[in-house]
Structure 1
Amino acid sequence: MSATFAGPITRSPHPASSASDRIHRLDIRDLDELSPDTTESHGEEGLTMRNQKEIRETSIRSARKLNIRELRALLGRCGMSVSDYDIEYVAALHGADGQPAYGASPHDGCGRPLPGNRGRPLILLSDLALADLETAVVTIYHEIAHHRSYRSVGHAGTEAAAERYGWRMYSEFVRQSA
């Protein structure tokens, strides 16, 4: 599978989502941001990834990584079920540029999601994504944004739009778990 990236993902917090930003639907702002961008190709096989350009030693923690089953349960208890997706662990993911990636939402050449073990759209998470709760939640919803974009408009959308969606959903997660 091949993929290209426009550049590193920056980590800046986004304001908490409003009550009208619901968890399981793309709103008009999301659809407007999903226009094709030739500078952000996702390859012939449609592999979309959340990647990191430079890894610092502090980002790879010695703390126990999150368990996907526990993470799914935690999201479900907050009303943010991810049961429509198969989330699977891979020790390491690498983008086309060879840099480590947080996660991936693989699609075939026609834009159909590759299925996981249960036949649902697959989301792959690496050790980077499971380093802490914030990163895991942002990464899962970043990849969900790519799946939803393919389903809605036939392409992966932009990395920036997927990242904004991931942060909005993390804000919702924090609000729901408070």
Structure 2
Amino acid sequence: MNVSFLKKINYFRIFKWLIGIIIVLILIIMGLFLWARQPLSSAKHQATTLAEKKVGIKSVDHFYMSDLNRTYYTIEGPNKDNQKQYVIIEKKTGSINVVNVKDGISANEAKSVANQKQRIAKLISVAPTIFNEKPAWAVSYFNSKNELNYAVIDFKSGKVLRFIANV
């Protein structure tokens, strides 16, 4: 009887250790996830503050990030006259470009243009950006062959400015 009692105690002790290790691993993974997202959260906060102070954006409807040759953060939201705008901020210099949403094609239209160029199997992102000093849409996606592709679409005309296949 003594031996079976000791076996139960050892199993219980092992079970407690395993549960403890699993909890610690879950906490470490959660911490790493939050730590990895911190730069993006910080960028969103800084871009939002700039858009509110310099341009007068009242609220943020969407936040975008694009990275072609330069990194751009874009805030979408209404200004004080309730007109929707994209405030496109270059990460390195902090230069600000303001574009009225109604003056160009929508994200869905940009996606459609990219899809006509090459069938989109999985969309990664569609984001307003600046390309050759003009507003554009950067569309990144995987095609049916699981190849990464980029299409840069002119914001006003909807024409493909650059297409990069199988990156």
Structures share a fold, TM > 0.5?
no
More strand by share: 2
- Tell which has more relative contact order, 1 or 2 (C-alpha 8 A, sep 6+): 1
Q: What's the TM-score, normalizing by structure 2?
A: 0.24
Q: What's the TM-score, normalizing by structure 1?
A: 0.23
Larger Rg: 2
